[in-house]
Amino acid sequence: MAPAEIVAQVTDSGLRGRGGAGFPTGIKWKTVLDTAGDRKYIVCNADEGDSGTFADRMIMEGDPFVLIEGMVIAGIATGARKGFVYLRSEYPHAIATMTEAVEIARKAGILGVSVLGSAHAFDMEIRTGAGAYVCGEETALLNSLEGKRGIVRAKPPLPAHKGLFNCPTVINNVISLASVPVIMDRGAAFYKDFGMGRSRGTIPIQIAGNVKHGGLYETAFGLTLGEIIDTIGGGTATGRPVKAVQVGGPLGAYFPRALFDTPFDYEAFAAKDGLIGHAGIVVFDDTADMLKQARFAMEFCAIESCGKCTPCRIGSTRGVETADKIAMGIEPEKNKALLTDLCNTMKFGSLCALGGFTPYPVMSAMNHFPDDFRPTPLVEAAE
């Protein structure tokens, strides 16, 4: 197939990026295909930093060749001859398996100057990250891959225009790339047949935290949150009632049971001020303190912030302090209003989604669990 035909298949399949943002993969590939460049790159984002997620790891350890195949197809589709897998250092088994698989693919003539005897050249390398959550953000990842500090780049330019070493670059998550072989094998219509709305295909949902049957469940989009938590997950491991689930990693919103009828779909989650992200779900029982979780979101952001923009760098630290004041019962109403104001500043003023989405867990905790944000009777008495 010609590159444009491959890109059309991927576009028609409805595949959207599984790394978090849900951007249509075919459109990203088309931009790189249409951008002139002596060198182009395929970068696989295997940083998998979201809490409770392990789908990328399972693909790389269990079926490394499906990822290699997806990357080679991406290379042929866009005119890239070189690929990198940016793999987190915390995954030693995945690093070993991928490294060995690349060697085997090279010896088998799948990688190299002539992919399976064709006129296409494509080779790839495994690179190890150094343990920063922000290096999963695509532009910080590119800087890290170039040997620089993992700091976020302003967009534009998009990586598809000027990415790795300023060359047109496809950056895709492991699952996005690993989904391509089945699309090429069975056709776009086959893949598109799964799912609902604009969320097509299947998604490996990872259930973790305080849950009876944790694990990875690949299913079509469209199951409700309740079906996932209660039917598949079997409720909490402690046997206590589920209080909240955090969907989409540390930047994802907390959903109360009242929202368990939400279908697993990018748009449905966005409509409830949440996100699917990399499809990790962390379950909490009724002993969870949601004010503590809100504070944790701000603290996580403060620790992981790359420091480039003010709302995230400074706002997150002020957020921790404000949450502490609420916990101590110091002017709770005023401080709750201040925390809301701060969240809006971070949401609309941050350069990337680390600062921009930290308000989601904070605000969802505050909105859905207001009782946890009231001062304890002991503190009230002291006031």
The pair of three-digit structure tokens given for residue 289, joined into one six-digit string: 């303190």
Report the nearest approach of ligand SF4 to the CB of residue 47 (Å). 14
Residue 7 contacts ligand FMN per CB under 6 A: no
Site for ligand FMN in 34-63 (CB under 6 A): 45, 47-49
The pair of three-digit structure tokens given for residue 298, joined into one six-digit string: 């701000």
Residue 135 contacts ligand SF4 per CB under 6 A: no
Burial class of residue 107 in the structure, from the number of CB atoms within 10 Å of its CB (0-12 exposed, 13-18 middle, 19+ buried): exposed
Nearer to ligand SF4, 209 or 355 (CB): 355
Beta bridge partners of 86: 45, 127
Judge contact between 262 and 272, C-beta under 8 A: yes
Question: In this structure, what are the phi and psi dihedrals at residue 73, rounded to the nearest 5 degrees?
Answer: -60, -40
Site for ligand FMN in 206-245 (CB under 6 A): none
Report the nearest approach of ligand FMN to the CB of residue 100 (Å). 23
Residue 134 contacts ligand SF4 per CB under 6 A: yes
**Spatial separation of the C-alpha atoms in residues 135 and 278, rounded to whole Å:** 15
Site for ligand SF4 in 147-186 (CB under 6 A): 152
Judged by beta carbon distances under 5 to 8 A according to partner kind, the member of ligand SF4, ligand FMN, none in contact with residue 350 is: ligand SF4
Report the nearest approach of ligand FMN to the CB of residue 86 (Å). 9
Chain centroid to CA 238? 28
325 Cβ contact list (under 8 Å, min separation 6): 331, 332, 335
Nearer to ligand FMN, 170 or 225 (CB): 170
Report the nearest approach of ligand SF4 to the CB of residue 236 (Å). 33
Beta bridge partners of 203: 219
Residue 150 contacts ligand FMN per CB under 6 A: no
Judge contact between 275 and 253, C-beta under 8 A: yes
Listed ranges 29-37, 165-173, 194-202, 256-264: which one lies at the site for ligand FMN (CB under 6 A): 165-173
Residue 265 contacts ligand FMN per CB under 6 A: no
Find the distance separating the first CA and the last CA of the chain, reported in whole Å: 73
**Spatial separation of the C-alpha atoms in residues 102 and 84, rounded to whole Å:** 11
114 Cβ contact list (under 8 Å, min separation 6): 120, 121
Tell me the pairing of strands 195-196 and 199-200: antiparallel
Report the nearest approach of ligand SF4 to the CB of residue 344 (Å). 14
Residue 139 contacts ligand SF4 per CB under 6 A: no
Nearer to ligand SF4, 152 or 223 (CB): 152
Report the nearest approach of ligand SF4 to the CB of residue 312 (Å). 3
Residue 312 contacts ligand SF4 per CB under 6 A: yes
Nearer to ligand SF4, 98 or 309 (CB): 309
Instruction: Please name which of 265, 278, 204, 207 lies closest in space to residue 236, comparing C-alpha atoms.
Output: 207
For the stretch 240-258, what's the b/e string if a residue is b when 16 or more beta carbons lie within 10 angstroms of its beta carbon? eebbbbbbbbbbbbbbbbe
Residue 138 contacts ligand FMN per CB under 6 A: yes
C-alpha to C-alpha distances, 192 to 199, 265, 356, nearest whole angstrom: 9, 14, 31
Residue 26 contacts ligand FMN per CB under 6 A: no
Report the nearest approach of ligand SF4 to the CB of residue 361 (Å). 15
Size of the site for ligand SF4 (CB under 6 A): 14
Nearer to ligand SF4, 15 or 132 (CB): 132
**Spatial separation of the C-alpha atoms in residues 354 and 237, rounded to whole Å:** 30
Listed ranges 15-23, 217-225, 265-273, 370-378: which one lies at the site for ligand FMN (CB under 6 A): 15-23
Residue 83 contacts ligand FMN per CB under 6 A: no
In this chain, which of 352, 363, 365, 366 binds ligand SF4, going by CB under 6 A? 352
- Interface with ligand SF4 by CB under 6 A: which residues? 134, 152, 305-309, 312-313, 350-352, 354-355
- Interface with ligand FMN by CB under 6 A: which residues? 17-21, 23, 45, 47-49, 133-134, 136-138, 171-173, 176, 352-354
